[in-house]
Every structure is written in C-alpha cells, then in structure tokens.
Structure 1
Amino acid sequence: MKLKVAHLITMLEMGGAQGNTVYTVKNLDRNKYDPLLISGKGGILDETVISDRRVRTVFSRRLVREIRPLRDFLSFFELRKILRSENPDIVHTHSSKAGILGRLAARAAGVRTIIHTFHGFGFNDRQNRLIRFFYVFLEKIAAVFTDRLIFVSRENLKTAGELGIGNPSKYRLIRSGIKLSDYSHDKDKGRLRKFFAQENSKVVVSLGNLKPQKNPDDFYKIAQDTIHSSSDVYFLYLGGGDRLEEFRKRTEADGLYPRCRFLGWREDSASILSACDFFLLTSLWEGLPRSLVEAMLSGLVPLCYKTDGVLDLVKDGYNGFLFEKGDSVKARETLKKLLEENNFYSEIRSNVLKTDLSEFDIDLMVRQQEALYEETAKELGSR
C-alpha cells in the first residue's frame, strides 16, 4: 500500500525551501508514495504547480506568511479540516509558520507521523530578545508533536540542540539539494560576460530575494564603494522582490549603472553564474543557501557574512572568505585584494573547485527523505 505524504509550506515564493519542496513532491517514487502539496495562496510559484500534473495541490485560504493572530487561529482549524479530509499517513512541514501551525493541526487531525524540515529558523540573533524567546518556545512546543526533525545545515542542528528544541535522537541531516549537472565551471565565460561586462574585467554576483534577510543594502554599499575605486569590476544581483525597482533607480541615480545591475529573477541564472568570478552573500541569517552551492559549483570565489549553513561550506581563507555580519568594509577590502592579486584569486578558486559538493545532489535529497519515510513507517508498524 502506498504511503500518502502531505507536504505543507506557508507560501510558494521563489526560494530554496519552496523549490526543494515542490521538487520532492514531483519526484517521490509513485510506486510507493501518493504525494500532496498544501500551501497558502499568493506565491510566485502558484501557477507553476497548478499547471503541473505531477503536483496535486490544495491551497489554504487563510495561511499567510505574516503574523496575524486571529487569521492564524482560523488557519489552524482550516488546516486541521484539510488534513482530516485528506487523511495522510505522513505530514511533512516546511517553513516557520506552516511548520508551527501545520504540526499542531496534524496532531489535532490524528496524523500518525509528523516530520518537519528546518530550512533555517524563524528566529535570529537580530530580533528583540522577547520575540526570539517566544519563537524558540513555539518551536519547542511543536517539536513535542514531531517524529523527525530534518536540518539542512550542521550549524542549525547544533543550535537546535543547544536551545533544547526537540530530542536529538529525532534529528536528521538532509542537505538542501540542487541539480548538480545544471552548474559548471567549464563553460565559456566570455559568451555571456560580453552582455554585462567589458573584456578582462571581473564580475561579482549575488542571488536571492530582495528582502531584509538577504540584506541587499550591504551588497549595494560594497558595489558602490568598489566601483568608485576599481575600474575593472562589475556587479550583478539576480533576484526579485518589492525593492527591485528601488535598487534599479538607485543605480541610475548614483551613476553605477551599467556596472551595477539588478536583473530580477532569471531562468538562465546558471549560465550567468558560470560567467562570473565572485559570489557575494551579505545575508544576516540563513539555513543553508542553495545559491552558495550553485556559485561554488560554477567556480566562483565566495565572500560571505558568517551565517549558519555558510559555515558548513566555506573555510575562511581556504575556499572563500567569511566576515562578521555587517562588516562591509572588510568584505570590500578582501574583494579589492583578490581583484589586484590574480595569483591569490587563482589559489582560492582552485580550492573552491576541490570542494566536494556531491552531498547537495537534489535527487539524493529526495531518496534520503524517502528512506526517512520508510523508517518512520516501520516504527509505526512495530508499535
């Protein structure tokens, strides 16, 4: 008999958690699993899943990303109703809001196996201490009703243990995967580079939503200061959001365009990455950024603020560089040194290419989740 698995996520935005969740639902073995996707409405990927026959989707009318106590209360009952109707064997939640409400609703609906993936935490060290304490408390409560807790980074797993979120015996590490074959450092950089940079120049790129977590203002500051002091470097930002037009106007007003461009979301992002030289990540918190894996597979030298899963990948001074959050000056100075000293850049890039990233294969990620489902199903059978 097939196991019915319901994946529950807050909203289908562009992002690693959303991309991996949709990919998992599409690619679970149909001989063993009957998958279902449950999500709030209004995400950029809504139409993608609606038009894909491999993804059966149920949309929640009340589930939203923002904290709205009354609506969240009603969302709990709506999710419980959906889960009672669908009667899945396993509920697998993703993201903070759906993770809390979804697990509580699953337990109230009588679901026997509940799994949650932390793609990053809903709390961070920049929040008000009381707010952070409240979010940690909620995660502790939800963990009581959770049979397995999946982490995408060792740093997140370590933090959860230190904070007392769930029983460590329930912890599992499953990487946030990407299609490894889509990224290569062997492609001809000149073919695409000519569209946004001059010959023999260097290109710095970042990728992600233009939202507070990603801290695009520091990316802009580093770009602005570097462009003013170096004539042979260009900056690209791949990603959209509410501030896209704002940044595009700023590059014009500050005289940075065309050496600094905000391109929005691009379907050819893999090709663009392969045409660049450096990856600049100024995020203030992360689970494990898939964009960093993509950049390193493309042979880019990473310069990153120290955040959670970044520490799993980048060894400071060996295959990239790490900076304290907000230290845009140190990041800019390191970038300048790399631009001026080609042997130094080549040494670091060589180490990037030696980094083993095979554990980030997205199909391996799906197989590991399937193995976890089988593991929990056997436990139920022995009870």
Structure 2
Amino acid sequence: MEQKKKVLFVATVVKTHINTFHLPFLKMFKEYGWEVHVAAKNDFVDEPCVIPNCDRHFDIDFARSPFSKSNIKAYKQLKQIIETNHYDIIHCHTPVAGVLTRLAARTAKGTTVIYTAHGFHFYQGAPLINWLVYYPVERVCGKFTDKLITVNQEDYHRANSWRLRNNGKIYYVPGIGVDLEEIQNISINKVQKKKEIGISNDVKVLLSVGELN
C-alpha cells in the first residue's frame, strides 16, 4: 500500500488562527487522501481543543513575543516533530511560528516549506525597531523557504529581491482572497437599507471592517 503523503500546518494558536482561517485547506488535503497534522498552541479555554480534519495535533509552547524564552522550547518541539514525521509539505503562518518552523525544517530533506506572510511587520512608515528586528530575520529565513506567499503589493515587491531556497517562488494573493471588484460593483439603496436594519434615515452610519486584536 502506498504511504500517505503528510502535510503540517503551523501557526501560533489553534482557535483564533488555525480554526479561524485554515479549516478549508485542512479539509482539502484530507479529501485528497493526505495525512494532516497541525502544530499550534492550544488556546481553547474551558472547552476541548477540536480541529476538524486534523489527524494529529501537537500543542506547541509558542509565545507571540519573539524575545520569550518559551520559543526556545517551541523550536525544540518543532525540530523533533519534523524529524520524526518526514512531511512532504510544511505550511507555516504568523511571524514567530513562521520563523521557528523554517529554522527547524532547514535540514529536512524532501520537504517543501511554504510560508504565508500575513503582512510583514516592516513596511513603509513602520517603527525602526520593526525593521531592525524583523527584516533581517525574514531575509535569512528566506533561505529556508521554498514558497513565499504575500498578501499585499508592498510585501510582494520587497520580497522579490530576496533569494529563496531552491530558486523558490514568491506569490501574491490579494488580501485574503476577497474579490474587490465584485464588492465595488454592489449597489445599495441607502434609505431602504437603513429602514431594513432599523436606523433612522437622518443618522450617519460608519462601517469599520477588520479584526479587533
């Protein structure tokens, strides 16, 4: 019997990252017959940690701060997991988890390492400390990355000057994949919409879209 291919998804936390953003991808790999693993900190409180379509979950001691000593333990945990399971693909997310995973997987043979940058912390106008800390780290980690996915044009153009492993490729996905043209073409009758949701026509409405973090 042919051995199943294995994929490892890595992010800082389960509930507010893996289960919020990546469940469709876990499901896709399962449908294609892959064995799906997740490495992320269990951030469920007073409820069981459940990850749909996940064959195995590794609870990793990630800390959001790159200066936390617990990340040393997280690196060792990842190194052991990667060396033991021999993954075909490792797809990592979030800055700290992304860096630790790529360092831990740098000697893994036959493994394609993918990193999705959900917006680099260094950008035009960012604090100097962000450039001093995160920029050189991402440049170095590019050498251990086979595929880099960026979600905005600034990150895409900046990363294009970097050298990835095995002549790796850099991809641009607009935001989180929302079709902006489809949204922009939506026509709304403001008076009718206000009436529908119980707002007086003379009241000004402000819509803010985003994650409060």
TM-score range, shorter chain: 0.7 to 0.9
Matched residue, 2:43: 42
Distance 1:41 1:123 in 2: 28
Matched residue, 1:80: 79
Matched residue, 2:147: 148
Distance 1:179 1:150 in 2: 18
Check 1:128–1:85 CA distance in 2 against 1; reply closer, same or farther (3 A cut): same
Task: Report the CA distance between 1:86 and its aligned residue.
Answer: 2.9
Task: Report the CA distance between 1:110 and its aligned residue.
Answer: 4.5
Q: In the alignment, which of 159, 162, 167 is matched to residue 165 of structure 1?
A: 162
Matched residue, 2:106: 107
Matched residue, 1:378: none
Q: Which runs of 5+ in 1 are unaligned?
A: 212-383
Distance 2:113 2:13 in 1: 19
Matched residue, 2:20: 19
What is the SS of the residue equivalent to 1:24? helix
Q: Is the 8 A contact 2:9 2:39 kept in 1?
A: yes
**Residue deviations 1:155-210 (CA, integer Å, cap 9, x gap):** 3201223xx43348511223423599xx895787347521xx32353421113333
Task: Report the CA distance between 1:40 and its aligned residue.
Answer: 1.8
Letter in 2 for 1:36: H
Check 1:38–1:126 CA distance in 2 against 1; reply closer, same or farther (3 A cut): same
Q: Is the 8 A contact 1:62 1:71 kept in 2?
A: yes
Distance 2:84 2:177 in 1: 31
2:6 is the counterpart of 1:4 = yes
Task: Report the CA distance between 1:29 and its aligned residue.
Answer: 5.4
Check 1:36–1:47 CA distance in 2 against 1; reply closer, same or farther (3 A cut): farther
Task: Report the CA distance between 1:143 and its aligned residue.
Answer: 0.8
Distance 1:88 1:80 in 2: 12
Q: Which runs of 5+ in 2 are unaligned?
A: none
**Residue deviations 1:201-229 (CA, integer Å, cap 9, x gap):** 34211133334xxxxxxxxxxxxxxxxxx
Length, aligned pairs only: 202
Letter in 1 for 2:147: R
Q: In the alignment, which of 190, 193, 201 is matched to residue 189 of structure 1?
A: 193
Letter in 2 for 1:62: D
Matched residue, 1:321: none
Q: Is the 8 A contact 2:148 2:170 kept in 1?
A: yes
Q: Pairwise mapping of residues 1-383 of structure 1 onto structure 2 (< 5 A)? A: 1=2, 2-12=4-14, 14=16, 19-28=20-29, 30-42=31-43, 50-110=49-109, 112-161=111-160, 164-167=161-164, 170-175=169-174, 176-177=176-177, 185=186, 189-190=193-194, 193-194=197-198, 197-199=199-201, 201-211=203-213
What is the SS of the residue equivalent to 1:158? helix
* Root-mean-square deviation (Å): 3.4
Letter in 2 for 1:166: R
Check 1:137–1:52 CA distance in 2 against 1; reply closer, same or farther (3 A cut): closer
Task: Report the CA distance between 1:135 and its aligned residue.
Answer: 1.1
Distance 2:43 2:193 in 1: 37
Q: Which has the higher helix share?
A: 1
Of structures 1 and 2, the larger Rg is shown by 1
Check 1:95–1:61 CA distance in 2 against 1; reply closer, same or farther (3 A cut): closer
- The runs of 4+ residues in structure 1 deviating greater than 4 Å are 108-111, 125-128, 183-188
Task: Report the CA distance between 1:114 and its aligned residue.
Answer: 0.8
TM-score by length of 2: 0.76
User: Percent sequence identity over matched residues?
Assistant: 25
Task: Report the CA distance between 1:52 and its aligned residue.
Answer: 4.6
Distance 1:53 1:22 in 2: 7
Letter in 2 for 1:73: I
